[in-house]
Amino acid sequence: MRSSEEFNDWYVEIVEKAGLTDKRYPIKGMNVWTGYGWKAMRLIDTYMRQELDDTGHDEVCFPLLIPKNEFQKEEDHIKGFSAEVYWVTHAGENKLDIPLLLRPTSETAMYPMFSLWIRSHADLPLKTYQLVNVFRYETKQTRAFIRMREIHFFEAHTCHVDFEDAERQIAENLEIMKKLAKKLCLPYVLCKRPDWDKFAGAFYTIGIDSLMPTGRTLQMGSIHQYKENFSRPYDIKYEDDNGQHQYVHQTTYGMSERILGALISIHNDEKGIILPPDIAPTQIVIIPIISKQEPEVVTNKCQEIFAQLKQAGFRVHLDDRDLRPGNKYYDWELKGVPLRIELGARDIQNGVITIARRDTGDKSQIPFDNIIEGIRESLLAIQSDLLTRAQKQHDESIFEITDISEAKPGINVMNWCGEEDCGLQVENATDMAVLGIPVEVEPKSGNCIVCGKPTEILIYVAKTY
Amino acid sequence: MRSSEEFNDWYVEIVEKAGLTDKRYPIKGMNVWTGYGWKAMRLIDTYMRQELDDTGHDEVCFPLLIPKNEFQKEEDHIKGFSAEVYWVTHAGENKLDIPLLLRPTSETAMYPMFSLWIRSHADLPLKTYQLVNVFRYETKQTRAFIRMREIHFFEAHTCHVDFEDAERQIAENLEIMKKLAKKLCLPYVLCKRPDWDKFAGAFYTIGIDSLMPTGRTLQMGSIHQYKENFSRPYDIKYEDDNGQHQYVHQTTYGMSERILGALISIHNDEKGIILPPDIAPTQIVIIPIISKQEPEVVTNKCQEIFAQLKQAGFRVHLDDRDLRPGNKYYDWELKGVPLRIELGARDIQNGVITIARRDTGDKSQIPFDNIIEGIRESLLAIQSDLLTRAQKQHDESIFEITDISEAKPGINVMNWCGEEDCGLQVENATDMAVLGIPVEVEPKSGNCIVCGKPTEILIYVAKTY
C-alpha cells in the first residue's frame, strides 16, 4: 500500500497533468472540468443512463434552487445538511422573501412534486433519475473529484406501493451497480451503514465503497431505503385498491464524480493514469513513425487507419504533431490512453501495425486485413485484465481480525454484537470508521471484538476519505 | 396569424398537457423538466454537440458560481446583468467574504481561466462550449421554455489570434446554425442588432430570431463578436511570432431552451403539438387494434414489429394500455408523435401495417417485408415537409414597407439611414423593436423610412417576446 501523503501528492498532481481538471478556478473546491476529464465523466454518465433507462427509469431535471420552507419539512434531513448548504438571499437589488438554497441533493425539490404526480397505485412505481451538479459547503480540505463543493452527481428517486416493492427496487439497484462496476473496472464493497452513520432521513443506508491504494475507503455512492420517512412530511399518497390513501415507500440511489476519482486512484502506474477502454475519451492513439524517405507514405496510411477505426466506432486520435514519437508516447501514457498504434515504413512493408498496451506495456502486431477485429480484442482484453488486477488487489486488502489491535490499513472484518456502544468503541480504538454490515456476504459465528458476546454479525471497518 | 392572447392561452396549456414541463414547482419561473420534455431537449442538445464537436470545439464544464470581483471586471457586462443575478451570500452558518453569483452566462467564469490557458499562438484558436443551466431573475411574466429564471443553455466561447480569425469563427457559427435549423425544422432570421440593443460587452451581436404564429419574433440565440472587449479586462494574451504579447479576439455563440419553445409554437394544430422526427422522444407509436377473436395474434405481431423497429434504431413505443384505440390516438397526437402504426387482424391478413402521419393525417400501408425502409421514408418525408411548410409560413410573414404606418404583425422590412435617432423613432412609432440589419440579405436602395435620406441599409422590425 501507498502512504497517504505520497499518494495524495501524486493524485493532486496527476489529475491536472493528465488534463482532467483545473483547480485554479477562483473558488476553492470548485474546479473546471477541462475537455478530457469532462469527456471521461460523460462516458461514465452514458453507462449510468443506459442502465437506468433499461430498468424503466425516466430522466428528469428539477430546478437547482429549493425554497427554505420546503427544505425544512423533513427534520432529520435538514439537520444533516444545514451546516453545508449555500443560500441565495438576494436577486438583483432585492432581498428574497423566502431564501433559496442550492440543492445538496434533491429530495426536498422532488417530493413536493411527487405529491402532485402520484394519485393512484397505477402511478406506481414511479422511477426517475437526474444527472446534475449538487452543492455542499465542505469545510475539510478539498480534492478534485473526491471532496468538492460543486459535485457532479446522479440521483435516482423511486416511489413504491409498499416496503417490499421498495426492497425489490434496492435489489435492482444492486444489480445496476454490479453491471456498472464491470464497465468501469471498479471493485467495491457494499455495507449497510450503522445507524449512527446513515443518511439524514433514511430508514437504512447502503454505502458503496471503493478501496483506495492507501488502504482507506472512498464512498462513491449510496442506496437508501426511506420507508415513509419523506412521504409523510411531503404528503405523497396513493389510493389503493380499497380506496384507502396510503403513503408511498421511497428509495434513492446516488453516485458522484468520486467514481472518476476512484478509477484514477486504482488504475495507474509510474507513467500516469490508465483509463478503462469503456470510459477512455481516447481509446486508441495513432503515432506515425516518420522516416526521411517517403514520409507521406506513413502519413497516408495512418490517416487511412484513423478513418477506418473512426468509422468502426472507436474513439481514436491521430497524433500528427511535429514531435518525436517518444515525447508523444509520454503524453498519452500520462493521460492513460489504453492502446497505442505505432506505424512506420517497416510496418507498412510487413503489412502490419504495431500496438502497445498501456496497462502491461506489451507490444504485438496486427496484420492490415485484421485491424478492426484485432483492436477490438485488445481493448476487450485490457478492459478485462484491468478489472481482474484491481479485484485481486482489492480482495487482498480485506482481512479478518479477532483482536482490535490487529486493525491495519485496508478493510478489517470482525464480529460485532450489534450494540452501538461496542461499535463506537471499535471506532475509537482503531481511529477508523465502521463501514457497516457487508451486504451479500454470509454472516459468520464468532465473538464481538469488543464485549466478547457470541454473534453472527460481521462488520467492515476501515479508515475513510 | 393568431392573436397573442389566444396563442398564449393555448401554449401555456399545451406544454403541460403534452407532458413537456410542470410549472407547479414552488418557485415561479423555475419549472420541472418532466421525462418527455427533457428527452426532447436532450435530443436537441445531441445535435448541438454533434455540430460543435465536428467543428473542433471541446466540451467543458465550468463552475456555476462566480465571485463578485471577477464578475465586475468588465463594466458594460455587469451593467447589463446586475439587475437580474441571483446572489449567494451565505454558506452553512457563515456569511461569505466575497458574495458569489449564479452564472447568468459564463464569460466572467471562463475568461480568468482562458487567461491561464493561453500562452502562445499555438494555443489558438481555443474553441470550447458547455451545456448548462443559467439563472436570470426575470421580472416579466414567465412562460415555459420562453421566459424562465433557470434556463437550459448552450454557450460556445472561442479565442482567436485576430479579428479576421474571429470573423471566420462567426461564419462557421452561421453554418452550424444552418445545419441545426434543418434538423429542427426551424426557420429563422439573422440580424445584426442595432448598437442600442447589442449584448453587454459585445462589439456586435447577431440575433437568431424565430417568427412565432402571433407575428412576434422570439430570440432563440445569438452570436457575438467581442473583439478585445473581454480579453483586455481579463488579460487574455498570447505571444505572437515576433515575441509580442497580443490580446486575443473572442466570440460566443449561445442558444437556449427557447429552441424547444419555438418548435412547439410553430409545429402544431388543433390536435396538439407536432414534433419533428429528429427530436421526437418517441418517433413512432404502435397501436394494436385488438379484435375479440385471437387477440394474441395482433399482440404478438405488434411486439415483433416493435422489436424490429427498436433494433433498427428508431425511438418506438408500443401502447398496450387497456384503452380504446381512439383514446390512444388522442394522447399521442396531443404529444406530437410524428408517426402512428395501427395494426389489426385485417392488416395481418393483408400482410401490411397501416401508418398515419401526424402532420397531414394521411394514412397509407406498408407491406410487412418493407417496414424498416417504409418507416424511414415516411419519417424523412415528415421531417422535410414540416420544414417546407414552416418556411413558407415564415417567408409569407416578411413584408417590405415604405411607410411607417404600414407596419403590421410579422417582420417589417424597410430602409434606414443608419442613424440611431431614426431607428428609435421607428421603434416608437411602431411599438416594435428594430431587430437589426439582416445578415446574408442583399442591401437594397431606397429612402430612410423616417428621414427620407437615400440609403442601401435594410432593417427588420417586429414585435418581440
Tens-digit pLDDT profile for residues A146-183: 999 999 999 999 999 999 999 999 999 999 999 999 99
**Partner residue opposite A89 with nearest CB, options B64, B87, B92:** B87
Mean pLDDT over A81-86 rounds to 90
In this structure, the number of other CB atoms found within 10 A of the CB of residue B187 comes to 20
- B209 forms beta bridges with B189, B219
pLDDT exceeds 90 at position A74: no
Mean pLDDT over B230-247 rounds to 96
B82 at interface of A, judged by CB pairs closer than 8 A: yes
State how far the Cα of A105 lies from the Cα of A123, in Å rounded to an integer: 24
- Tell me how close the Cα of A87 comes to any Cα of chain B, in angstroms: 5
| Check whether domain A284-378 has CATH 3.40.50.800, yes or no | yes
Lowest average pLDDT, out of A37-41, A320-324, B5-9, B289-293, goes to B289-293
Residue A278: which pLDDT band, with cuts at 50, 70 and 90? very high
Residue A214: which pLDDT band, with cuts at 50, 70 and 90? very high
pTM over cut 0.90: yes
Mean pLDDT over B116-136 rounds to 97
pLDDT tens track for B251-307: 999 999 999 999 999 999 999 999 999 999 999 999 999 988 778 999 999 999 999
Q: What percent of chain B has pLDDT over 70?
A: 100
Structure-block grid coordinates of residue B361: 393525417
* CATH class held by domain B4-269: alpha beta
Residue A4, classified by CB atoms within 10 Å of its CB into exposed (0-12), middle (13-18) or buried (19+), is middle
Nearest partner of A218 among A264, A169, A285, A178, judged by Cα: A264
Kindly state the DSSP code that residue A248 receives in the 8-state scheme. P
**Partner residue opposite A33 with nearest CB, options B24, B61, B133:** B61
A323 at interface of B, judged by CB pairs closer than 8 A: no
Whether the domain at A4-269 and the domain at A398-462 fall into the same CATH topology: no
pLDDT exceeds 80 at position A75: no
Mean pLDDT over B203-220 rounds to 97
- What is the predicted pLDDT for the residue at B80? 81
Mean pLDDT over A70-82 rounds to 83
B91 at interface of A, judged by CB pairs closer than 8 A: yes
Residue B74: which pLDDT band, with cuts at 50, 70 and 90? confident
For A258, residues 6+ apart whose C-beta sits below 8 A from its C-beta are A145, A146, A210, A218, A219, A220, A221
* Residue listed under C-alpha cell 488486477: A389
Residue type for position B140: K
Residue type for position A337: V
**Partner residue opposite B35 with nearest CB, options A25, A59, A89:** A59
Structure-block grid coordinates of residue A268: 495507474
Nearest partner of A61 among A114, A110, A107, A117, judged by Cα: A110
CB A266 within 8 A of CB A390: yes
pLDDT exceeds 80 at position A397: yes
pLDDT exceeds 80 at position A296: yes
Domain boundaries, chain A: 4-269, 284-378, 398-462
* CATH class held by domain B282-378: alpha beta
Mutation target among B31, B53, B62 for the A interface, most CBs of A within 10 A: B62
- Count of H helices and E strands in chain A? 13, 27
Residue B98, classified by CB atoms within 10 Å of its CB into exposed (0-12), middle (13-18) or buried (19+), is exposed
A171 at interface of B, judged by CB pairs closer than 8 A: no
pLDDT exceeds 80 at position A77: no
Interface ipTM > 0.90: yes
- Tell me how close the Cα of A354 comes to any Cα of chain B, in angstroms: 28
- What is the predicted pLDDT for the residue at A19? 97
pLDDT tens track for B350-384: 999 999 999 999 999 999 999 999 999 999 999 99
Mean pLDDT over A390-394 rounds to 97
Is the Cβ pair B92, A102 closer than 8 Å? no
Structure-block grid coordinates of residue B419: 442613424
Residue A333 vs residues A264, A265, A356: alpha-carbon distances, Å: 13, 15, 10
pLDDT exceeds 80 at position B244: yes
In this structure, the number of other CB atoms found within 10 A of the CB of residue A152 comes to 23
Mean pLDDT over B182-188 rounds to 95
Average pLDDT, chain A: 96
- What is the predicted pLDDT for the residue at A283? 98
Mutation target among B52, B90, B282 for the A interface, most CBs of A within 10 A: B90
CB B269 within 8 A of CB B113: no
Q: What percent of chain A has pLDDT over 90?
A: 93
- What is the predicted pLDDT for the residue at B103? 97
For B92, residues 6+ apart whose C-beta sits below 8 A from its C-beta are A82, A83, A84, A85, A137, A139
pLDDT tens track for B385-442: 999 999 999 999 999 999 999 999 999 999 999 999 999 999 999 999 999 999 999 9
- Note the CATH number of domain B398-462: 3.30.110.30
> In chain B, whose CA is at the least distance from the CA of A133?
B64
Mean pLDDT over A89-104 rounds to 95
Q: Where is A263: in which H helix or E strand?
A: helix A258-266
- Tell me how close the Cα of A375 comes to any Cα of chain B, in angstroms: 24
pLDDT exceeds 90 at position B107: yes
Residues 140-159 of B with CB under 8 A from A: 150, 152
- What is the predicted pLDDT for the residue at B13? 97
